Amino acid sequence: MQTAVVPELEELLDEGPVPAYPYTKTFAEARKDPCLTLHTTGSTGLPKPITWKLEILSTYEAWRTIPYIGEYVSMTEVYQEAQRAYNAMPLFHTSGLNTGITMSLLLGVTTVFGAANVVPNATYADEMHKYAGVDASIGPPSIYEDLSHETASLDRLDTLRYVLVCGAPLSQVAGEIISKRTRLISNFGATETACLPRLAPGREDWSYYYWHPTHSGIEMREYMDDLYELFIVRKPELELYQGIFSTFPDLHEYSMNDIYSKHPDPSKGFLYKWRGRADDVIVLSNGEKIAPALMEAGLMSNPLVRGAMVVGRGKFQPAALLDLGDSRPETASGRFDVLKELLPAIAEANKHAPAHGKLDQNHILLVDPSRPIYYLGQGKIQRHQTYKAYEEDIENLYLAADDLDDQLDLDQSASGDLLMVDFSDLDNIKQWLKGLILLVTEIQDLQPKDSFFQSGVDSLHVLRIVREIKLQIKICGGRLLPQMLTPGIIYSHPSLDELSEFLFQKATLSLRGLDSGYQSVDSDDEDIRPKAKDMNLLLHDYVQTLPKIENRVRPLPVSQGMTVLLTGSTGSLGSYLLNSLNNDPNVHHIICLDRTSAAGKHKELGPKRGLAPLDSDRVEFVKADLSQHGLGVEEELYERLLGTVTHIIHCQWPVNFNWNLSSFRPYIAGVRNLTHLAAGSRHNAFLLFVSSVAAVGGWTGFGEVPEAPIHDLNMAANTGYGQSKLIAECLLDKAAEISGVRSACCRVGIVAGPVEQELGMWNKHEYIPSIIISSVHLGAFPETFPSRDEIDWLPVDKLSKILLEVLASASQPVISQPGSLNTLEDDPHTKVYHVVNPYRISWHADFATRLRDAYPSDIPLQPVPFEEWVERLKESADEAEKLGNIDIERNPAIRLVEFYAKAAISKEKGRRLWPIATVQASETLRALGPLGSAWLENWMVQWGIKPN
């Protein structure tokens, strides 16, 4: 077997010089070369590997050239209407991979993927639609089924150019709802065929396909009962359009094994709707594929079962029709006994089902022997006719399985051996939930933060867990939660901590009943109160675990040498903080706690950023998990930290505006755990937290934001990032009061690129650098930016020094009495510093002129209002799409068109934060001065706009 080692991503993206690797083959020479080996998903039979040749990729380019017919344009024209598309399809699925190739490389649509450790679900997709700056969405139907039930989610779909459903059909009900909000596209293709050239039907015909009549070679042949089977017929003149014959070069025609029906309107007889697969493979709404033959054989392993048919196309999970003949029970108790006897056969069937496509006993239909079951000559059930005869019964079966009133009593519950759960007690919920999951799944252990799905939970487990929780909440008197609890809730809260928190909050509301005061909250308050309530509950949880310490010892003076614990040293700001600490003679030792071992990364990135070599005798790197007790390090090391650390700088926090608040729980837990370290430390270690202006981004108070602790959690920006930062600030303030922890919170604004040397670079894909770089491409720069007119940016290298000066000032001990050297003044609050540039300038009055002067003189640039600049950017994006030539390096702002468009019409002004305490504490900040031409010119050199 031949093997190959694939380079790591960092190696592939390394900007260092590499030897030239010329590619000189012509298309004719290269077209038969293999380029990808893909694995089929099983839609067309048993999964198998398929090797794509380069010529099959050319079919996507050829698709763009098919002629229009009347008002019907190529589907690629519709795809190109988007700028950024969120893709929830996995890259091992052909749909996921094809969007990356077709949309990104050929159509100029940036593909946005979610976090690798998140199972795609409706909640996550909704967050991506809200915060990721996307204008299109691609994913399996189960996501959009769930989104179709939420008005707020549908409102966000309104802003999208289209929704592209892949992997399975969307239900008609959900499709009709979504198609009224945005263009809905039913995707079609297969690993064997690649794309099939088609035209875009009207929006009202979202569930139909229009195969190109002259450029596809597709023939629709009658199958049965007004159904048609799709065949691709080989034609020499269509060689570039027919990828299937690259895969199977010896064939002259190919059946997709799909069956269709014609549009009921005779004038649209060229439109066809997918009805199913001729080979019986079942595609669930979550995209899972089931080959029913082996499952049916497993069910028929019980002698009671005469015939079995597995169904579930378009459903979240499968069901089965069982023909027991005269053995069919007539009573509910008889049905229960039979199902109990069938459990081994169901287990046997599930051996042949995917992890997220299991069959359970509540989805078994025992057919009436007086009604017909249609069999083929060999004793196999004729699927199409039988399904037609039992379609209503199957739908009722799914409804009944979801209705708790139709379930058996608690004695038949999987959780019958567990104690009853108290939904008003968070710890009790967590303990009960852990017992339930261990019982249902037979997992040996489950920690509060462990991912359910990484621990072995599958879709059948999820369904059982949902059912048991519904049963328990109903027994407790809840009315609202059972209707809102779906499998998607488990997928979007995939740990004991997250699911327990969700149940605690929602079940508490549910148990109040429909007449509670909560239900009558004014609509204007509905968005605010639950947010503040959730935040307060989260804060309360962590405050309860703070250590209570009465007497605090005097800390070690800075002059005696600092031992600094630094978190987040691998980030941009963190690396400059480490550099400043490394160059500070007052720092005796530096301990870097990071999620991964960071020594190698600093060795690689340090020279690129112009950072001094690290003193290996003073700098120590430790792999840690701040969310865990004892910071996730060995006990011996933790004891050493307690005995030596004098100062803590906490800089480890993901800048992710797509995450909801619950996703930041591990990082808030990290703050709590660092307060434990500080409270128990020998030197009463001082903790400096790098917060953000987003912590007060929702400020609605009188005047400017005060440089002081703020406990009104509604004042945070309405993002999980800003909310988590404010909660962390409040937690530190409580730690000062309860545990005597000395701390400071630094609300940092926009962090600009370094200015002290040419090395290093402000990330060109952030929104400010993107404006400056793309202006060269557009031939114009914005002389105004109304919603961002005040500029108080701080260069990252200057910021690192400012933060260390704040640390030195804030951590100076204040003695309570002249004669008392061992106790501290009672000051039960964290100190707050606004870390922004006090020498503000105006974009339109100052920055625009300096920006123009900083550009090279040979670049023709016209100053224009921001609104006009955005229009030019849009035109540039449209032109690039038409030409299929989007250059992100030269025109990075094209990725953020929608963001700039919203900023252009925004009437909001940024919240003003005055850094009064910071100016007093930092000599660097006092001497900084406003943003000048020298900074701008240095950034332009770093971005490659100006020569060195």
Question: What pLDDT, in 10s, does the model give residues 488-501?
Answer: 678 778 889 989 98
Q: Tell me what percent of the chain is helix, strand and coil, each rounded to the nearest 5.
A: 45, 15, 40
Of 516, 548, 575, which residue sits at a domain end?
Answer: 516
- If asked whether residues 822 and 859 sit together in one domain, one would say no
Same domain? 852 vs 864: yes
CATH of the domain at 365: 3.30.300.30
Regarding whether 226 and 300 lie in a shared domain, the answer is no
- pLDDT for the residue numbered 478: 52
Whether the CB-CB separation of 607 and 14 falls below 8 Å is answered with no
| Residue 701 CB coordination number (10 Å) | 13
Q: What is the CATH number of the domain that holds 459?
A: 1.10.1200.10
pLDDT computed for residue 924 by the predictor: 94
Q: Is residue 619 part of a domain?
A: yes
Phi-psi region of 176 (alpha: psi -120 to 50; beta: other; left: phi over 0): alpha
DSSP letter (8 states) at residue 566: E
435 plus 358 within the same structural domain: no
Residue 694, in any domain of the structure: yes
Say if 532 falls within a structural domain: no
d(CA 497, CA 863): 53
The answer to whether 156 and 77 are in contact (CB under 8 A) is no
pLDDT at 697: 87
Q: What is residue 834's predicted lDDT score, i.e. its pLDDT?
A: 95
Quick one: three-class SS letters along 569-597?
A: CCCHHHHHHHHHHHCCCCEEEEEEEECCC
Structure token digits, residue 382: 């004729």
Domain co-membership, 264 together with 344: no
CATH number of the domain to which 126 belongs: 3.40.50.12780
Instruction: Please indicate, yes or no, if residue 922 is contained in any of the structural domains.
Output: no
> Is residue 939 situated within a structural domain?
yes
Residue at 270 is within a domain: yes
Report if residue 869 sits inside a domain: yes
Q: What residues contact 880, with CB distance under 8 A and at least 6 apart?
A: 108, 886, 887, 891, 894
Residue 922, phi then psi, degrees to nearest 5:
-120, 115
Q: Are 178 and 184 in contact (CB under 8 A)?
A: yes
pLDDT at 552: 60
pLDDT along the chain (948 residues), means of 10: 80 87 92 86 60 88 91 94 93 80 88 87 94 95 86 95 87 86 91 88 95 94 77 93 91 86 91 76 67 76 86 84 87 79 87 78 87 67 83 84 47 50 83 88 86 77 81 59 68 84 71 31 35 83 84 57 92 92 92 80 78 87 90 93 95 74 86 95 94 90 84 87 94 93 95 90 86 93 89 94 95 58 58 94 91 89 93 85 65 80 76 88 92 90 86
For residue 47, what pLDDT is reported? 61
> What letter represents residue 150's amino acid?
E
Residues 698, 809, single domain; the answer is: yes
Q: Which of 674, 771, 646 is nearest to 732 (CA)?
A: 674
Find out whether 313 and 280 touch, Cβ atoms under 8 Å: no
**Among residues 369, 402, 435, which one ends one of the domains?**
402
Antiparallel, parallel or unpaired: β 587-594 and 619-623:
parallel
The pTM (predicted TM-score) of the whole model is 0.48
Helix (H) or strand (E) holding 687: strand 686-692
Asked whether residue 712 falls in the same domain as residue 582, the answer is yes
Residue 398 domain-assigned? Answer: yes
Dihedral, CA of residue 704, residue 706, residue 711 and residue 716, to nearest 10: 50
CA–CA dist 929, 217 (Å, integer): 69
Is residue 849 located within the same domain as residue 821?
no
What is the rounded CA–CA span in Å between residue 841 and residue 932?
A: 10
Domain that holds residue 120: 33-277
Q: For the chain, what is the domain count?
A: 5
Q: Are 304 and 220 part of one and the same domain?
A: no
Same domain assignment for residues 70 and 190? yes
Question: Which are the contacts of 131, defined by CB distance < 8 A and separation ≥ 6?
Answer: 657, 658, 719
Give yes or no: residues 675 and 567 share one domain: yes
Q: Which of 220, 254, 277 is the last residue of a domain?
A: 277
567 - beta bridge partners? Answer: 593, 650
Q: What pLDDT sits at residue 609?
A: 85
> 384: closest CA among 223, 186, 175?
223
Radius of gyration of the chain (CA): 31
Same-domain pairing of 191 and 311: no
- CATH number, domain of 580, equals 3.40.50.720
Residue-level pLDDT at 935: 93
Rounded to whole angstroms, how far apart are CA atoms 455 and 909?
Answer: 47
